[in-house]
A and B are shown apart, each in its own frame.
Chain A
Amino acid sequence: MATEPGSQFQQAPAQGLPPDAVLLVELPFTEAELVSLRPAVAAHADAAGMPADRVDALVFVAYELATNVVRHGGGVGGMQLWTAADAIYCRVSDQGPGIPAGIDGRAQPEPGSPASRGLWLVRTLADGMHIDAGAGDSRGSIVTATIGFRREGTFVQYPDD
């Protein structure tokens, strides 16, 4: 299941991650593990020093990417959480048919339309999102979302706080 403690320093960062990135945990999943991913991701992010509001965003993003794999990406996936320089990188891979061209979460879906809603939300809540084709053969996909310890971009004024 999860990576042994101590082995984290031995693994070189995956492609596209900062060279000093450290692997926090590796979590294989199917539909049965979706719910337990949430507290697991929250616990590792909290232990890495991530503020609570950013942990909430990371849990949402991680769960959404894993759900995509279960529903559209062949049902079996792997999640890695990496950390470097006040950010956590959530990398979710699968061996499914791949994410169709044109679906990248860049366009806001019409209210009420379910199409590409998930990736749009991941892109909106994360500080960065990158989609790669799976390694090896042409099948599968790898999505990496970055959540900073501090929220980037425009300051949000919440009503009634």
Chain B
Amino acid sequence: MSGTSVEDLKPGDHACLTFSDNDERLDIVAAFVRDGLRLGQKVLCLTESVSQTALSDELAARGVGIGSAARSGQLQVAASGQFFTPQGSFDPSATIVRWQAQIDQANRDGYGGLRVTGDMCWALRPVGGVADLMEYESRLTRMLAGQNATAACQFDRQCFDTVTLATAADNHSMNVTAVTYHDDALLRICRQHVPTGVRIAGEIDYRAIEPLTLALSEALSLDDHIDVNLTQLRFMDTTTAGVIVQTALGLTGRQRMTVRCTRISFDVLAALGMQEQARVTLTTARHGD
């Protein structure tokens, strides 16, 4: 099933958010949080794979201003388990009741709605009641429709089996995925939401020149500041390095480009004169940063 962009989510939507790696998840979550804060909504992030502190740090590092929202309570980061399995097991009806309480509270507190995103990896454990998860998701879809609330449930494609993922997709009102220009076992080229730009992960060579050129030229037409995230790119050949240099030459007016990459990509781009270009910042990040 094709995906919706996280930026198109509206009140009443119950989205099944799938992602291929943690960096991609955090990018989509950051966009979800950013949009909620901008709209004056109460934002609740339920996290598990990423610690609560790490998630707050990641949001800030990606340029989402969370300081005042966290202090005022507009943004809350909490553990998934606290919301879904407060007594150690999962009770769909009690969870739906908690949802309604959160929506009502957000309205009473004067927020422009409620936004919740939750890491669903707790459901991979043998938790009591987890067999009813999909029935719950289906009930939540019906319950949220028409309410001033948006939910995005995070399902890791690397952890959940394909049958569960397909069932999850059916029981939500839509799927949210990264906007993808290329996706196979070796290479993934996605639109990056926060900061805006393009994310290229895996290994890239001349065979992917078309999707790479498309991704970069769309960024060039959309963004004032293009963040080219190559931190998870293990290999880049001369041809694709040349496309990135060419894109930088196409920057106009106030446009800027930041390229974040591994040391070897840094060496390749630097040898092609990337550092000397006035509108470009070239920086390194180690694998896994």
Contact = CB atoms under 8 A, between A and B. Distances in A.
Interface string B246-264: 1001000000000010111
B273 A108 contact: yes
Contact of B266 (A38, A112, A120, A158): A158
Nearest to B186: A35
Interface-central residue, A60, A63, A114, by most chain B CB under 10 Å: A60
A156 B263 CA distance: 10
| Size class of the B contact interface (CB-based, 8 Å) | 20 to 34
B284 A158 contact: yes
Nearest to B248: A111
Contacts of A59: 235
B242 A114 contact: yes
A contact face: mostly helix, strand, loop, or mixed:
helix
B78 interface: no
A28 B65 CA distance: 54
A72 B66 CA distance: 54
B242 A67 contact: no
| Size class of the A contact interface (CB-based, 8 Å) | 20 to 34
A60 B245 contact: no
Given A60-B235, A63-B237, A124 B271 contact: yes
B205 interface: yes
Contact of A64 (B238, B262, B266): B238
Contact of B268 (A34, A60, A109, A160): A60
A111 B273 CA distance: 6
Contacts of A57: 264, 267
Interface in A105-161: 108-112, 114, 117-118, 120-121, 124-125, 156, 158-161
B264 A159 contact: no
Contacts of A35: 186, 203, 205
Interface of B: 186, 203, 205-206, 235, 237-238, 241-242, 245-246, 249, 260, 262-264, 266-268, 271-274, 276-277, 282-286
